[in-house]
Amino acid sequence: MARNDLQGSLDLLVLKTLSQVGKLHGYGIVLHIQRASDELLRVEEGSLYPALHRMEQSGWIAAEWGLTETGRKAKYYRLMAAGRKELDQAEKSFDQLVKGVRAVLKYA
Amino acid sequence: MLIFRRFANLFARSRVEREIDAELRSHIDMRMEDNIAAGMSAEEARRDARIRFGNAAVMKERVTAMDASLAVANTWSDVRYGFRQLRRYPVFAITAIVTLALGIGATTAIFSVMNAVLLRWMPLPHPQELYYLHLPIGHPSGYGASQTGDDATSFSRPTFEYLRQDLRAFSEVMAFIPLSNDKVAVRKGDMPEEANGEMVSGNFFSGLGVRMRLGSGFKMEDEQHHAPLVVLSFAYWTHLYSRDPGVLGQALYIKGIPFAILGIAPEGFSGVEAGQSTDFWIPLQSRPELNPWGNSPDVNTLYGSPNWWCLRLIARLAPGVDAQRAVAEATPGFQAAAYASLGKPDPKQPKVTLSLVAAKGIQGLGDNYREPVLVLMALVTLVLLIACSNVAMLILARNASRRREFGVRMALGARRSTLLRQLLVESALLVVGGALLGWLFAEGATRALAAWSQLEVSLAPDGTVLLFAGTVSALAALVFSLAPLRAATNAPVIAALRATAATSYQKGRSGNAVLALQVALCFTLLMAAGLLLRTLMNYENTNLGMRTDGLLVFGIAPQQAKTNEAKFAFYRTLLERMRGMPEVESATFVETRLGTGWSSNDEPTVDGVKVSFEQVPLRTNDVGPDFLRTFGIPLLEGRDIRDTDTATSQHVVVVNETFVKKLLPHSDPIGHLLGNPKKHPYAIVGVARDSKYRSVDEAPRAMAYYPYTQDTGAPPTLQVELRTKGDPLSVLPAVERVIREMDPNIPLEKPMSQTAVFEDSYAQQRLFSRLAMFFGLLAALLVGIGLYGTLSYRISRRSTEIGVRMALGARQWQVLGMVMRESLLIAGLGVALGIPLAMLTGHFMGSMLFELEPYDRWTALASLVGVVSIGLAAGYLPARRAASIDPMQALRSE
């Protein structure tokens, strides 16, 4: 999958990550998506932080400062109720998209 | 919640940025650590981390944009952008702001006047319950309420006593009577002064609910005992005592009688006289020196003449009673009280009735200002309309010329709503600027108006005015928001980008309609201004029937003289001293100063036959010897009043032409008798030409001049009239010296030139005509600018077309004519629209005009010439520019 195609799904991936892991900082989210997708997906770091802050302003996720395992200060994000709802929505519409694309590919 | 955080972020921007920095740095650091753990060198690790992260500055900017959210932060940046835009076109911005400020300022100033004159309640508790008592058809004794100012507002003492105890209708009825129809002599220590004073009932302050600044108000006992106590107004306390709180109990001499200062009224309360401020109040008095209205006690006294209608009344309604019910409740008892002392009512005459007038603005005592103020308000609204439409067209034109800019921005991805929001912000900035500047204008204008109008009311803008100005500005902002909507959003991106001068020229029909409407409004305003100017000129050019220039007048009251003999002696000596002065050509007295609006009135009895006042209202005045000569009133027959006309000589009178025409048309008037034949009738000894008495605009009336020496009692005050050589006011110091030699306690009351007295009688008309002139000129200027701006703009858009025309052989004069025709067409259309509008306005102004038709032909013609000149002037410059277009240049610039 090309990098650009990830853009629309970035919100979905971040929300899903947070719903699975709980609290995580931006760098952790990047690593998690990379690992969970078997290195198939690479989050463009330049897009991640604006997205995180946008979602925070929209009330989907909340942020707080915490310490990493190595004792470094980092900003941790966690999922809020509104974000959970958003995640459901996004998952459903992504499924639809995948179904649609598959159907097209079958006949193509 | 979110919006608050966004606001918080906006103001705590630096803190937010620091946090973002920290977050992004921690990300890069973590990546570096991992890289080093994976075996990279420190340098490689940092390089890799940075490359993966991308441009840190751009990222930070993007993250910040997310945080310092959209709406709020963008509005702020819109405002800043708007400021920058306006700064880039300073001429546009200044023109728009000044135009708006003139419109809003003028409207606000006139509204302030309207507020003070028609709308504002008194600064008292529950002011809506306060009503002036009026007699709508005048009072019952037949002719004028002798020497009490206005017979529609004067009540007799028995009727007052009845009304104040009628608790079903009124909880309180307060009486107030001026001590004089002008100022009275007041002395503090050795300093003679004059001031406006009233005597009032004991419940005056308590009934109105006035909370004293210092000391206390009167009690009912003070009225019963006619206590020698005085309450000062805040302004007079300031003027006389510099707000010294220790004045309570000190003596103030009023007409030479000591009164102890009991209290100081609060700031802002200046009494209940309409359009006038009262300086001090005393309880109702029975002393002859303090007779109501300064009248001679020999004729009527407050407590001795039940049929003297001389008290003014203001009442507070009983709880739960409205004005209509109060009138219904009080009328039967009031009529009974009135006729108890008057005797049986005349069945042929309508019975005396009562009415209530809300104590609001200054209309309580006369509607003189109502119509003019409403007309002025209407005129100034027209000016505001012109100003607003000018600015709207200005904005429209500018936005149209920015279409290419909008097109580019939209092509680059700007949203239509973003552009629109930006335009709205720019308009709002203009309106806010205009409103603020306009408020400053209004402040200055109201101060000037207060000085010119000689209205003793505060015109200072208050809450109501502020609300008004705010509403007007908001409306203006709305209008200007609609204007850019059209220009901006209708611009299709491609067309706007491709647009060149040739294709973007539109006919602008709606623009022409607005311009024509402006011209119509301007025509109306010029017409109104012209009518008022001509009215003023008619006032100024009216023949008064006398020579006022060179006449000095001042009032004088012999305070020390107690008896009639002593007073007459004082007046005689005074006249001799005045005549002895080298600067004085001749000197005389009048009891009622001419040109003040006051007059004495009587029913004439000629040769024993009484004529009713309705048939021939007779005006009278007591005068001194040499009256006609001093005033320069031509004598038609017989003789002037002389020194030899004394109390003991034969009683004589000089009458005027109208008297002879109305009462003695068929015989030689000399020798006929005027007045009660049983009690010293007055023999007519002279006939004078008609002259003005009360005011400039009065119609001639029958007039009788009696020698003051032959009146029943000596007048308490006389007006001294001196014919001087040269400037009358320059004689004043010499006159003051002579008077001080006679009695150092006596002030010269209101010394002025007689010319100024008559001029003051139409000061209101002068003020209104000046204001209307100002509005007219302002409108002409605004319309001229608007027309000029629009035409120039069109020329600049059409330069190619004109270039082509000229290249094809059009002559300069043809191009000139083409533009001028457009300008004159608009002016002509405007006049066609304006004529009915002007006629309507003239119709409403009818009562403000003097010796002038509302549809005055010459005024209409002058207004027409004015409008056409504006059209010519506004068209000429753009037309010249169009005619001087170089075809080659114009075509090449395409």
Give the DSSP letter string of B421-455.
HHHHHHHHHHHHHHHHHHHHHHHHHHHHHHHHH--
Q: How confident is the model at residue B502 (pLDDT cuts 50, 70, 90)?
A: very low
Separation CA B804–CA B630 (nearest Å): 79
Work out the average pLDDT over B336-360.
82
Q: In the predicted model, is pLDDT for residue B504 greater than 90?
A: no
The pLDDT score that the predictor gives to residue B586 is 95
Name chain A contacts of B63, Cβ cutoff 8 Å. Answer: 49-50, 53
Name chain B contacts of A49, Cβ cutoff 8 Å. Answer: 20, 23-24, 27, 59, 62-63
Work out the average pLDDT over A65-94.
88
Task: Give the minimum alpha-carbon distance from B508 to chain A in angstroms, rounded to a whole number.
Answer: 46
Alpha helices in chain A (DSSP H): 10-21, 26-36, 45-57, 81-107
The pLDDT score that the predictor gives to residue B505 is 43
Query: Which stretch, B430-444, B461-475, B572-586, B847-861, has highest mean pLDDT?
Result: B572-586
The pLDDT score that the predictor gives to residue B279 is 93
The pLDDT score that the predictor gives to residue B894 is 53
Q: B61 touching A, CB under 8 A? A: no
Work out the average pLDDT over A80-89.
90
Work out the average pLDDT over B223-249.
92
Q: How confident is the model at residue A2 (pLDDT cuts 50, 70, 90)?
A: very low
Q: Which of B112 and B174 is assigned the larger pLDDT?
A: B174
Q: In the predicted model, is pLDDT for residue B391 greater than 90?
A: no
Lowest mean pLDDT among B421-435, B609-623, B662-676, B722-736: B421-435
Separation CA B100–CA B431 (nearest Å): 7
Q: B451 touching A, CB under 8 A? A: no
Amino acid sitting at position B664 = L
The pLDDT score that the predictor gives to residue B275 is 67
Q: How confident is the model at residue B486 (pLDDT cuts 50, 70, 90)?
A: low
Burial of residue B554, with CB atoms counted within 10 A of its CB: 0-12 exposed, 13-18 middle, 19 or more buried: buried
Separation CA B292–CA B310 (nearest Å): 7
In this prediction, what percent of chain B has a pLDDT beyond 90? 35
Contact at CB, B23 and A75, closer than 8 angstroms:
yes
Q: How far is CA B332 from CA B132, B289, B320, B346, B354, in A?
A: 19, 35, 20, 16, 10
Contact at CB, A57 and B30, closer than 8 angstroms:
no
Contact at CB, B33 and A70, closer than 8 angstroms:
yes
Contact predicate B149/B181, CB 8 Å = yes
Q: How confident is the model at residue B344 (pLDDT cuts 50, 70, 90)?
A: confident
What are the backbone angles phi and psi of residue B279, rounded to the nearest 5°?
Answer: -90, -35
Contact at CB, B66 and A57, closer than 8 angstroms:
yes
The pLDDT score that the predictor gives to residue B494 is 52
Work out the average pLDDT over A71-95.
89
List the single residue in B6, B53, B62 with the smallest CB-CB distance to A45. B53
Q: B69 touching A, CB under 8 A? A: yes
The pLDDT score that the predictor gives to residue B787 is 87
* Cα R_g (chain B), whole angstroms: 38
The pLDDT score that the predictor gives to residue A4 is 38
Query: Which stretch, B2-11, B178-187, B505-514, has highest mean pLDDT?
Result: B178-187
List the single residue in B5, B29, B54 with the smallest CB-CB distance to A46. B54
Work out the average pLDDT over B289-299.
83
Q: How confident is the model at residue B23 (pLDDT cuts 50, 70, 90)?
A: confident
Neighbours of B813 (CB within 10 A): 11
Contact at CB, A45 and B23, closer than 8 angstroms:
no
Contact at CB, B26 and A25, closer than 8 angstroms:
yes
Instruction: Tell how far CA B201 is from the center of its chain.
Output: 32
Task: Give the minimum alpha-carbon distance from A96 to chain B in angstroms, rounded to a whole number.
Answer: 29
Q: Which is nearest to B884 in space by CA: B785, B788, B799? A: B799
Separation CA B275–CA B284 (nearest Å): 22
Cβ-Cβ contacts under 8 Å between A and B: the total is 59
Q: Which is nearest to B560 in space by CA: B551, B570, B550, B552? A: B570
Contact at CB, A72 and B23, closer than 8 angstroms:
no
The pLDDT score that the predictor gives to residue B790 is 83
- Tell me: the pLDDT tens digits for B646-682? 989 999 999 999 999 999 998 899 999 998 888 889 9
Contact predicate B172/B133, CB 8 Å = no
Q: Which is nearest to B113 in space by CA: B527, B448, B359? A: B448
Work out the average pLDDT over B267-281.
84
Q: In the predicted model, is pLDDT for residue B832 greater than 70?
A: yes
What are the backbone angles phi and psi of residue B527, rounded to the nearest 5°?
Answer: -65, -50
Q: Can you tell me whether residue A103 is helix, strand or coil? A: helix
The pLDDT score that the predictor gives to residue B153 is 83
Query: Which stretch, B5-9, B166-170, B186-190, has highest mean pLDDT?
Result: B166-170
Contact predicate B700/B657, CB 8 Å = yes
Contact at CB, A50 and B22, closer than 8 angstroms:
no
The pLDDT score that the predictor gives to residue B490 is 56
Q: In the predicted model, is pLDDT for residue B872 greater than 50?
A: yes
List the single residue in A44, A49, A72 with the smallest CB-CB distance to B30. A72
Q: What is the ipTM of this complex?
A: 0.86
Work out the average pLDDT over B328-342.
87
Separation CA B789–CA B783 (nearest Å): 10
- Tell me: the pLDDT tens digits for B137-156? 766 655 444 556 567 788 88
Contact predicate B209/B252, CB 8 Å = no
Q: In the predicted model, is pLDDT for residue B206 greater than 80?
A: yes
Q: In the predicted model, is pLDDT for residue A62 greater than 70?
A: yes
Q: How many CA atoms lie within 13 A of A29 on its CB side?
A: 30
Name chain B contacts of A53, Cβ cutoff 8 Å. Answer: 20, 63, 66-67
Work out the average pLDDT over B576-587.
94
Separation CA B670–CA B687 (nearest Å): 8
The pLDDT score that the predictor gives to residue B571 is 95
